[in-house]
Amino acid sequence: MGEESKTNKTFRQRVYDRVYETMTAIAAGMSPRDIRDMLRGKPAGRPNPRYRVHSTSFWFHMKPRWYNKSTTRITYTLALGWISTFLAVVLGLTGIILMIFYTPSTDAAYFDMLNIIGGIPFGELVRDIHRLAAELMVACVILHLVRVFATGSYKQPRSFNWLVGMVLLFITLIFSYSGYLLPWDQIAYWAITIGTSAADAVPVIGAQIQMLMLGGPEVGQLGLLRFYTLHVIILPVALAVAFGVHYYKVVKQGISLPPAVEAKKKKDERVPYLPGILVREVAWVMLGLLVLIIPVVTFYNGPLEDHADPFVTPLHATAPWYFLWLQGLIKLPDVFGGIVEGKFVYGVIIPGIFFTILFALPYIDRNPARRWQDRKLALGLGAAVIVALTVLTWMGTPAYRLETPPAEEIALEFVPTDRHGEINELGWDNLVDGVYEISIGETAPTEPVASIDLDQFITKLASAMTHESDRLPDGTATLTIATWQQDLKRIDLDIAWEEDGMEHTFNQYTYIHKNTIHQE
Amino acid sequence: MNVEKNLLVGTIAAVIVVVLLVGIYVGEEIRMERETEDQQGKLIARGARLYDTYCAGCHGERGEGLAGIYPPLNVEDLWSGKEDIAFYGTLHDYISLNISAGHPEQRMPSWATGYGGPLRGDQIEDVTQFVLNWMGPQPEGVRVQAAEAVSIPPPDTEPEAEGVPAVEPGQDAARGGQIFASACVRCHGADAGGTDLGPSLVGASVVGKGDDELEDAIALGKPGTSMPAWNELVGPQDISNIVAYMRSLAAGEAPVISMSSTDPAEAGETLFALPLGDALIGQALFTGADRLENGGPSCLICHGIASDDALGGGTLGPDLTLTFNKHGELGLAGVLADIGFPTMAPIYKDRPLTPEEQAHLRIFLQEAATRRPTQPTGQFGLLALAGFLVLMVLAQAVWRRRLRSVRQSLVEQTRSKK
């Protein structure tokens, strides 16, 4: 009996030792006791096992052992670089999942998108997260650049890292832009068509560049495959390399101290990476996932329009939001009297100069001071550029100087053929068959209709007509809803007006199926 | 760093994420089902639009068809009468295949891009779903009766007995022309110059044949082609009138009666006195450097051509370098005046080429036929090579001192030690 319990004890001891060793090995040299002490806030022993981890573990060796306390304040860096990295990882993982269900072919791509949304569990979630994270990442990278400019962190000795950061910005933009084409829907097709046609403005080699990008004079199968290859192979590798250099420099040089702290030339307090910052980063990862998932389950839907069609140009096709300023620039009046082409100056020369200055900023701005009061010129110019870009972005939207005939504009808003419009918000039960006459100045339909929502729709249409009464003199609109097939209705909008003594009419119609999802 | 607070925040966030994921998982099946229904509904709605553009012309706006010529599609059972054929697939496949590949015996052209038509695979599916939706019970007012087939003007002469000798002084070419404009132009083109659906009627194939042969061809149709038998709809006297009209057309005497132009003199003029054009302007129009006046897309988008500054060109349509040799001057003029190729017809129907544009393009195509079709690959190779060399030279200039620095610091170290 006594001997047996003795062997049991040694066996338990042996198992315990084995587990302890294994856990220590997994934790890269930190024993479970060390970890427990660390999380309970006890001071580290000597030699400091929390520093040793950084040399024994591959993953930890990439992180610095400690940070300067003033740089860990969230209000200083806003963690924009960290967030960009987090989003890049999320994009990589969701991208791999999407890649499994996607074929880069003009015949299959759109149906693969439909299948991802409707046929694969969690498919819509993954796609929406990928899409949302992509938009956020572009925004974060741009804001990161603004932050680094504002705090003067691009100055010596970090001027090289600014350059690498600019490369990363470009990679991010091309990443997002190339991903734009892959769903092969109308927005994708026309955004890329508009964007790549800008290359046409480059003299001598413009046509060749465009040809190289698209594999033909138009966006097609070859173009899709090229953008896909860019998106899933070339850019990820380029991003990994450039990010490696960028982050290596950050670790090596440390995050730049806030200008005020730096000016005091006082030694900053050190904050070890373990455990505080590690725990904070893990918490941020969880929060980040939450921030991505909550919009997706509540209101955010990755846009997907009709199948790409080279023969149907949608009204108001625009570039992605981060290129709208370029579109706004091209809309500026041609004031060069035919000596040079306006499109060339606005689309190539000005952006070229802008990006060259941005790239070479640390080498142009030789002022070593980092405090705001010593950088009034640089900050003023920076603010001016931000204001200019904002105005240009607004000018790039269809709201600015786009001459669409008013009847078409109203039809697009109320009975669009290829996108979501007012009519889609009615819902099947509110589409009551009938012919509804609407005249300018009327607030209520001439005859009461069967549904309150349809009533409101007609009132809205009437007020839109009234709003345009300058351009649609004596305008009348006729809305015809007819049952066309089982579960299918045809909605006709006929707009008539008188101009220069002539009767003008415009007709647009659309079909709505009972099963179409509508938002109320 | 407040470790405990962060641990708490992280844990709460992780729990919420897991709860959300479980919630999504629970509702996922219903969402997917709803989403699939939505996609199906949108398919049918899109199909309805395509039907309006491509099918309604023959099968009727509401699918009622044209009695005796084009079958109605707005029917309870689309299988009716088709059971005897050896088709083992589903009804969906049957309809989809009919739309894609066409049905020559029944005058149905092929619509899928794979068969030379204008519709992509997804569009074929849209139209198929729309047509299938006509089956089964329908709400009131959906079923529509078929309309009259071909508008034949009321006879002003008594119809004569069958077996009347072909050429007769009583033949009325003008009346034949009216019927021709209503029935024949659909396939043979407004100027009888032929389209993808039917051959030209002004060439040697008509001139060399006897009236009997031609009348038989009209009356009995050509089995195996899209030419139907017209004897049920058109009387023998009218068939003979049509032949008379064709004769005058082939001789170049008759004015061309087209659907668009009602002034015969004008229509005849544009066909036979071909206006002159400028090859350079034609080239600009072809490549898209100048926009087409009525907004049609430029040719280069779909067609390749050998020319001085057109780089290759699209591959959707055939290369047009040698097209002049194929069609000849008159044929090309006809094609440009009334673009009838199924892929192109819907695009250019509302955006026709102006007479000047037609002339410029025709002369340009005539000139292009003296060249050989080219491939742009070589140009790209040269461009890439030149770019590579420039980059190498640039790199050499920028990093001239790249090798020196490492060694220099070592040399300096040794020197300072000494």
Q: What is the pLDDT of residues B229-263, one digit of tens each?
A: 777 667 788 888 888 888 777 766 655 444 333 34
Whether residues B28 and A212 touch (CB distance < 8 A) is answered with: no
Looking at beta carbons, which residues of chain B come within 8 Å of A118?
Answer: 32, 35-36, 38-39
Closest CA to B164 of B236, B248, B229, B254: B236
- Span of A220-229, A380-389, B12-21, B375-384 with lowest mean pLDDT: B375-384
Residue A363 near chain B (CB below 8 Å): no
Instruction: Give the start-end residues of each E strand in B131-261.
Output: none
Q: Which residue bears the tokens 């057309």?
A: B249
Q: Which residue has the higher pLDDT, A290 or B118?
A: A290
Cα–Cα distance list, A345 to A203, A205, A322, A420 (Å): 11, 16, 20, 36
What is residue A290's predicted lDDT score, i.e. its pLDDT? 95
Residue B389 near chain A (CB below 8 Å): no
Q: Give the residue on A whose Cα is nearest the Cα of B126.
A: A307
Q: What residues contact residue A488 under an 8 Å CB cut-off, 6+ apart?
A: A511, A512, A513, A514, B44, B45, B48, B130, B133
Whether residues A483 and B1 touch (CB distance < 8 A) is answered with: no
Q: What residues contact residue A76 under an 8 Å CB cut-off, 6+ apart?
A: A70, A151, A258
Closest Cβ–Cβ partner in B21, B35, B300 for A118: B35
Question: Rounded distance, CA A160 to CA A242, Å?
Answer: 12
Whether residues A271 and B1 touch (CB distance < 8 A) is answered with: yes
Residue B25 near chain A (CB below 8 Å): yes
A333-337: Cβ within 8 A, 24+ apart: none
SS3 category, A353: helix
B107: left (phi over 0), alpha (psi -120 to 50) or beta: left
How is residue A461 written in tokens?
């249409």
Whether residues B39 and A310 touch (CB distance < 8 A) is answered with: no
What is residue A409's predicted lDDT score, i.e. its pLDDT? 82
Scored b (16 or more CB within 10 A) or e, A338-374 reads eeeebebbbbbeebeeeeeeebebbeebeeeebeeee
Residue A230 has pLDDT above 90, yes or no: yes
For B:333-352, CB contacts with A below 8 A are: 346-347
> By the 8 A CB rule, do A64 and A271 touch?
no
Residue A292 has pLDDT above 90, yes or no: yes
What is residue B272's predicted lDDT score, i.e. its pLDDT? 40
Cα–Cα distance list, B379 to A121, A406, B121, B375, B387 (Å): 48, 47, 34, 9, 12
Task: List chain B residues with pLDDT less than 50.
Answer: 149, 156-168, 256-273
Residue A472 has pLDDT above 50, yes or no: yes
Mean pLDDT for A106-122 is 91
Burial environment of residue A470 by CB neighbours within 10 A (0 to 12, 13 to 18, 19 or more): exposed
pLDDT tens digits for range A31-56: 888 888 888 878 887 888 888 888 88
Number of helices followed by number of strands (H, E) in chain B? 16, 0
Whether residues B3 and A114 touch (CB distance < 8 A) is answered with: no
Number of helices followed by number of strands (H, E) in chain A? 22, 6
Looking at beta carbons, which residues of chain A come within 8 Å of B1?
Answer: 72, 271, 275-277, 279-280
Residues of chain B above pLDDT 70, percent = 73
What is residue A519's predicted lDDT score, i.e. its pLDDT? 57
Question: Rounded distance, CA A64 to CA B49, Å?
Answer: 61
**Best residue in B7, B8, B30, B39 to probe A by mutation, most A CBs within 10 Å?**
B39
Element (H, E) at A377: helix A376-396
pLDDT tens digits for range A125-157: 999 999 999 999 999 999 999 999 999 899 888
Closest Cβ–Cβ partner in A275, A284, A287 for B3: A275
Residues of chain B above pLDDT 90, percent = 9
Residue B121 near chain A (CB below 8 Å): yes
pLDDT tens digits for range B168-215: 456 777 777 777 776 777 667 767 777 656 777 776 667 677 788 888
Q: Which residue has the higher pLDDT, A151 or A518?
A: A151
Mean pLDDT for A336-341 is 70
Question: Rounded distance, CA A201 to CA A342, Å?
Answer: 9
**Best residue in A311, A485, A518 to probe B by mutation, most B CBs within 10 Å?**
A485
Question: Rounded distance, CA B18 to CA A293, Å?
Answer: 11
Closest CA to A94 of A68, A135, A131: A131
Whether residues B13 and A290 touch (CB distance < 8 A) is answered with: yes
What is residue B252's predicted lDDT score, i.e. its pLDDT? 66
- What residues does A495 pair with on adjacent strands? A477, A506
Q: Using 50, 70 and 90 to split pLDDT, how confident is the model at A81?
A: very high
Q: Which residue has the higher pLDDT, B81 or A114?
A: A114
> By the 8 A CB rule, do B277 and B363 touch?
yes
Cα A447 to chain centroid, rounded: 47
Cis amide prior to A275 (ω within 30 degrees): yes
Cα–Cα distance list, B286 to B252, B281, B302, B323 (Å): 31, 8, 10, 14
Cis amide prior to A47 (ω within 30 degrees): yes
Q: Please report, as a single letter, which amino acid is at residue B210.
A: G
DSSP state of B171: -
Q: Quick one: angle between helices B121-132 and B91-101, nearest 10?
A: 130
pTM above 0.80, yes or no: no
> By the 8 A CB rule, do A217 and B311 touch?
yes
Element (H, E) at A39: helix A32-39
Q: What residues contact residue A346 under an 8 Å CB cut-off, 6+ apart?
A: A329, A330, A332
What is residue A113's predicted lDDT score, i.e. its pLDDT? 94
Closest Cβ–Cβ partner in B136, B312, B380 for A486: B136
Question: Rounded distance, CA A162 to CA A154, Å?
Answer: 6
Distance between A276 CA and the closest CA of chain B, angstroms: 5
What is residue B182's predicted lDDT score, i.e. its pLDDT? 67
Q: Give the residue on B whose Cα is nearest the Cα of A74.
A: B1
Residue B56 near chain A (CB below 8 Å): no
Question: Rounded distance, CA A405 to CA A324, Å?
Answer: 23
Closest Cβ–Cβ partner in A121, A211, A293 for B20: A293
- The radius of gyration of chain A's CA atoms, rounded to the nearest angstrom, is 30
Task: Count the helix, strand and coil residues of chain A and give each as a percent rounded to the nearest 5.
Answer: 60, 10, 30
pLDDT tens digits for range A488-517: 888 888 888 887 777 888 888 888 888 887
Residue A108 near chain B (CB below 8 Å): no
Residue B142 near chain A (CB below 8 Å): yes
Element (H, E) at B28: helix B3-50
- What residues does B70 pair with on adjacent strands? B66
Q: What residues contact residue A34 under an 8 Å CB cut-off, 6+ apart?
A: A27, A45, A49, A50
What is the number of alpha carbons within 13 Å of residue A410 lying toward its C-beta? 29
Residue B133 near chain A (CB below 8 Å): yes
Residue A298 near chain B (CB below 8 Å): no
> By the 8 A CB rule, do A189 and A310 touch?
yes
Q: Give the residue on B whose Cα is nearest the Cα of A488.
A: B45
Q: Distance between the two ends of chain B, CA-based, in angstroms? A: 51
Q: Quick one: angle between helices A80-100 and A235-253, nearest 10?
A: 160
DSSP state of B108: B
Looking at beta carbons, which residues of chain A come within 8 Å of B379?
Answer: 208
Closest CA to A293 of B8, B34, B14, B10: B14
What is residue A520's predicted lDDT score, i.e. its pLDDT? 47
Task: Count the helix, strand and coil residues of chain B and give each as a percent rounded to the nearest 5.
Answer: 55, 0, 45
